[in-house]
Amino acid sequence: MNNESKSPVAPTGQPRRGRMDAPNKEETSALPPFAMLPLQQVVLPVTEAECKDAVDHLLRATIIGFDTESRPVFIKGATDDGPHIVQCATMEKTWIFQLHHPACEQAVKILLASSQLLKVGFGLQSDISSVARRFGLPMQAVLDLNTVFRQLGYKSSTGLRAGVAIALNQGFHKAKSVSTTNWAARKLTDAQIVYAANDAYAALCVFHELNRRYQQWQHAMPATIQPFLQDR
């Protein structure tokens, strides 16, 4: 990868003129691998007590990585009834809420509605739409990191793989075949759990690095996001 791909801002701390291309898959594959969160640091709560514990931990974190997964729809005209799981990550662990469990659904509603909990991720517009459709409520305090990368001078949608490469200079590699598996399954495979957990965890790692190194994007964020960006 060339130096343009490794650094999103000029040495002066100002965005470069023009829009930059995000690093492609070939470039990111040459980077040192991102340290994935292991299976042992992923929690799948089921009971009311387990979900309450998860909510308490996540609300205390104030900033979490966020993502959702839905069962893929392969038939034209079929209805997407997702999301089927919601992933919420801190820097220590990720919780995966399987929404066929009533306690998980109630826990997720609390997290979504909290304006005191910033949810960060990539490409969250589709997640926001599916959440509104399923739960009938808007997500509060959301930051799509694609917006941050546009502020730093990148074109269009950066995405998680390229975002990890730019912010962390690491390669984020995962099996594409897992993305099209059945996320509505009552029992997720280990591969699904690790895949889903790290989508949320890696997004949080990217956020913290951008927040630490490139504060010039912060002024362009909405007022509802600003309190989360101060003194971090």
Structure confidence by residue, pLDDT tens digits, 187-204: 999 999 999 999 999 999
Q: Which amino acid is it at 93?
A: K
pLDDT for 167-188, tens place per residue? 999 999 888 889 889 999 999 9
Which of 162, 130, 136, 169 shows the shortest CA–CA distance to 148? Answer: 162
Token pair 């949320």 is found at: 200
Domains contained in the chain, CATH given: 3-71+81-229 (3.30.420.10)
Give all strands of the β-sheet with 63-69 in edge-to-edge order: 42-43, 94-98, 85-89, 63-69, 118-121, 142-144
CA–CA separation, 27 and 38 (whole Å): 25
Encode the chain (232 residues) as per-residue pLDDT tens digits: 333 344 443 322 344 456 788 898 899 999 999 999 999 999 999 999 999 999 999 999 999 999 999 987 655 655 667 799 999 999 999 999 999 999 999 999 999 999 999 999 999 988 888 888 888 888 999 999 999 999 999 987 899 999 999 999 999 988 888 988 999 999 999 999 999 999 999 999 999 999 988 877 888 888 889 889 865 4
